[in-house]
Amino acid sequence: MGIDLNTYFRKQTDVAPLVVFRMFFGVMMFLSVLRFWANGWIEKLYLEPEFHFTYYGFEWVRVPGAYTYLIFLLCALSALGIALGYRYKWSVLLFFLSFTYIELMDKTTYLNHYYFISLLSFLLFFLPAAARFSLDAQRQGKLYLKVPAWNIDAVKLMLGIVYFYAGLAKINSDWLFRAMPLKIWLPSKFDLPLIGDSLLQQEWFNFAMSWAGMIYDLAIPFLLLYKRTRLFAFALVVFFHVFTRVLFPIGMFPYIMIVSALIFFDAGVHHRIMEIVKRIGTALGRKRPTPPLQVIPEYRLPILQEKLIKPLLMVFFVIQLLLPFRYLLYPGELFWTEEGFRFSWRVMLMDKVGYTTFTIVDGKTGKSFEVDNTDFLTSFQEKQMSFQPDFILEYAHYLGDHFKAQGHQNVEVYARSYVALNGRKSTPFVEEDRDLYKEKESFKHKDWIIPFKDEIKGL
Amino acid sequence: MNFIKGITIITVFMALVGCSSSSDGDGGTQPADNFDRQAMLEHWADNIIIPAFEDLQLELTALSAAKDDFVAEPGEATLFALREQWLEAYKTWQYVEMFNIGQAETMFYAFQMNIYPVTVADIESNIATGTYDLRSVNNNDAVGFPAMDYLLHGLGADDAEILARYTTAEGAEGTRKYLSDVTDEMLALTGEVLEDWRSNYRDTFVANLNNNATGSVNKLTNDFIFYYEKGLRANKFGIPAGNFSATPFPEKVEAYYSTEVSKTLALNALNAVQDFFNGKSYGTSGTGSSFTAYLDYLRELQGGDDLSAAINQQLNTAREQIQTLDDNFSRQIETDNTMMTKAYDELQKAVVLLKVDMVQKLNITIDYVDADGD
């Protein structure tokens, strides 16, 4: 086994899939940031709200006012740097830091695919993805033909984990035996041409989509790995992501996944892509004759770097494999409490709607008043806050501090909350007589959440 | 070669899905279990919204005429007739306030019709100066039904004092003019909204079958819920009863100066909400497609509790609670505010059913920030 692992780590392979992946990733990220900016979301999501929901342990990450634009600019430029392979290590490091900082500013906007981008850019920092087909190669006057195969496999593993864990999460009774939440979502897409007012309204179709989705997620990493099914698998990837893009507002994510899946193909495909890109480059007039580059057959990491990076990435992947299962450490239904829900590839799994109002009470006199949430939160924040316990707690503290600073005495904060999950009737969500201003955020179970009344079986 | 194979596979796959969808449509008829949203929008527009606006316009025309009579000959008889017509129009208003869509939304119609409490100083200074732009945002709290409430009931301690303001007192002419302008402005605004519905917006509204934030179903559902939560629950009950403040504000009830009609108006508003929910045509006994029918359709598909029944039941409970209140909410708050907050609590329970349960079943986006989802 030890010998096998050593031979595996020594195995070299064509660098083309990795450098093409790098280019596409950079381009996609650049476009994503531009799109985000052009949609006015920097203002709407970060600058306009007066209060932001933070991640536990990252409360120090703040929205730096007008400098927020600078962070986005940095993010866009570093994405461009990744695409061009210009000072690659710096570009990818800056991209990872700026992108992750943006995500940490407000957890209202948390999306699994943003988390995926952060992880991927972290991983890319350690991979020689600019060894060829990059401005760095031009600058340094040399290119590498091969890199250690594990560098490419690491990206495949990351992609595989995302799909496979998303599939595992779908093995639950709501998804498979109630066709929830698709039974809520699909019929509401009645305005879709051809299938909107017919197929999507059919119960059997909602079930078929649920089961197909689960099988797709579980199987696709293996179908992509296996040469004989690869092309079919890629066709499935394209179809699946385009279809979900049509159905749901998921932005750039489907395209990112489609181009990412190209990494599973043999190098021949990537050489053709590189050829096309080069031809476009010449057509655009970049005819500057470049001195011929020195061709180095194999890229090898400096010994010290290799000694550090390999264990580091192994730990990284062990964490990736274990983190989604941390929910097992908490009592109660995961979908209800959401303790251990994020960072676990639980994508499109539930439809949850809540309504939560807060009462500020003077503990001595008993005088009280209700808070108008729209005074403090945007409608998007209010919506997200209303069914997520950590949001409710953080907001309760914010309200407590706010009214204390206004001169209110003996401030106590109580929440009245109702939540509906996957089409079930709404039920009370938090204990109404619990002063949330006294409760502290932690990784421990929040015992003021009223337990889920139903049962959802499965992983 | 590989590429050709790939394209073939994709084509076959697409064709499979395409076929299974078109085979559903081959019969030429819609599947029986599809809900006809277009019919719902048509019913809303043609049988509820436009008729309600038409009725309001009739009432306001009559109000304007009664005002003309009063201004021409200010006396007890004309004043009483004017007050009576004001109340009739105000009751009808309760049936249109929730339709903050189209021209009404564009010109902030409701803000110019029913913002209360009024700011007496603004009204008095408008009367004194005689120069004002009634459509200005700054005058939102000096126009509409609440301003008329003050002008007809609040200008003096008794009817004689009030009449004096229109006849013998200094500036009587200005007072008559302001009353006249405010009344006519309400009629003009309503005419603009109604005219737009008739000539233009009705067809746009009915044709917009999108399910995104700008789709008609989505927008009007948001308006409906927002009105119930804010216009009905908070403005008529919660705010005066002190739910949002350390102390109650009995002077913030609707129609504060006329003193005896706040309950009547609130009950009208609740009826309007429930009628719309159930698809009851305005002014006739007919019913058509609305939230009840939509929820019942989805229940066939999704199963679960009878939500439309639960909402109706909760609205009925709230109505019973409101009926126990004093005709004058202001007096109710001063004598026994707990009764008022009880009514608020019952109304609040329906907010949960509308804003959580109904919104989930209809899968309607409540926020307009169209950020990406997962």
Give B-chain residues touching A102 at CB under 8 angstroms: none
Residue among B154, B152, B343, B137 nearest B236 (CA): B343
Do both A304 and A406 map to the same domain? no
Q: Do the chains contact at A111 and B374, CB–CB below 8 Å?
A: yes
Query: pLDDT grade, residue B366 (50/70/90)?
Result: low
Q: How many CA atoms lie within 13 A of A258 on its CB side?
A: 16
Residue B311: closest C-alpha in chain A: A425
What's the rounded mean pLDDT across residues B199-218?
91
Q: Do the chains contact at B360 and A348, CB–CB below 8 Å?
A: no
Do both B252 and B334 map to the same domain? yes
Average pLDDT, chain B: 90
Give A-chain residues touching B12 at CB under 8 angstroms: none
Residue A108 within any structural domain of the chain: yes
Predicted local distance difference test score (pLDDT) of residue B8? 44
The DSSP letter of residue A430 is B
Give A-chain residues touching B301 at CB under 8 angstroms: 183, 187, 201, 203
The distance of A45 to chain B (nearest Cα, Å) reads: 8
Q: Do the chains contact at A249 and B14, CB–CB below 8 Å?
A: no
Q: Do the chains contact at A382 and B6, CB–CB below 8 Å?
A: no
Do both B76 and B101 map to the same domain? yes
Do both A132 and A67 map to the same domain? yes
Domain count of chain A?
2
- Reported ipTM: 0.88
Q: How far apart are CA B188 and CA B144, in angstroms?
A: 11
Question: Which tens digit of pLDDT belongs to each residue from B34-51?
Answer: 789 999 999 999 999 999
Residue A244: closest C-alpha in chain B: B374
Predicted local distance difference test score (pLDDT) of residue A282? 84
Which residue range forms the structural domain that includes residue B262? 210-367
Q: What is the pLDDT along chain A (459 residues), one digit of tens a residue?
A: 556 888 899 899 999 999 999 999 999 999 999 999 999 999 999 999 999 999 999 999 999 999 999 999 999 999 999 999 999 999 999 999 999 999 999 999 999 999 999 999 999 999 999 999 999 999 999 999 999 999 999 999 999 999 999 999 999 999 999 999 999 999 888 888 888 888 888 899 999 999 999 999 999 999 999 999 999 999 999 999 999 988 888 889 999 999 999 999 999 999 999 999 999 988 887 666 567 889 999 999 889 998 999 999 999 999 999 999 999 999 999 999 999 999 999 999 999 999 999 999 999 999 999 999 999 999 999 999 999 999 999 999 999 999 999 999 999 999 999 999 999 999 999 999 999 999 999 999 999 999 999 999 998
Q: Max alpha carbon distance in chain B (Å)?
A: 99
pLDDT above 70 for B23: no
Residue B27 within any structural domain of the chain: no
Do both B238 and B358 map to the same domain? yes
Which residue, B209, B231, B254, sits at the end of a domain? B209
Predicted local distance difference test score (pLDDT) of residue A247? 87
Residue B149 within any structural domain of the chain: yes
Residue A63 within any structural domain of the chain: yes
Preferred mutation among A198, A372, A388 to probe B, highest tally of B CBs within 10 A = A198
Q: Do the chains contact at B374 and A355, CB–CB below 8 Å?
A: no
* Token pair recorded at residue A116: 């995926």
Which residue range forms the structural domain that includes residue A426? 351-438
Give A-chain residues touching B33 at CB under 8 angstroms: 201-202
Quick one: CA dihedral A225, A229, A234, A237, positive or negative? negative
Question: B144-153 and B76-93 are packed helices; what angle lies between their axes, rounded to 10 degrees?
Answer: 160
Domain count of chain B?
2
Continuous H helices in B26-133? 37-43, 50-72, 76-93, 103-106, 109-113, 120-129
Query: pLDDT grade, residue B26 (50/70/90)?
Result: very low
Full-prediction pTM beyond 0.95?
A: no
Do both A86 and A41 map to the same domain? yes
∠ CA B309-B311-B317 to the nearest 5 degrees? 100
**Tokens 């690659």 -> residue:** A88
Which residue, B209, B233, B248, sits at the end of a domain? B209
Predicted local distance difference test score (pLDDT) of residue A459? 83
Bridge partners, A352 (sequence order) = A421
Which residue, B161, B184, B209, sits at the end of a domain? B209
Q: Do the chains contact at B35 and A190, CB–CB below 8 Å?
A: yes
Say which of A184, A197, A353 has its CB closest to residue B34: A197
Do both A321 and A355 map to the same domain? no
Question: Which tens digit of pLDDT belongs to each residue from B254-289?
Answer: 999 999 999 999 999 999 999 999 999 999 999 999
Say which of B6, B20, B37 has its CB closest to residue A190: B37
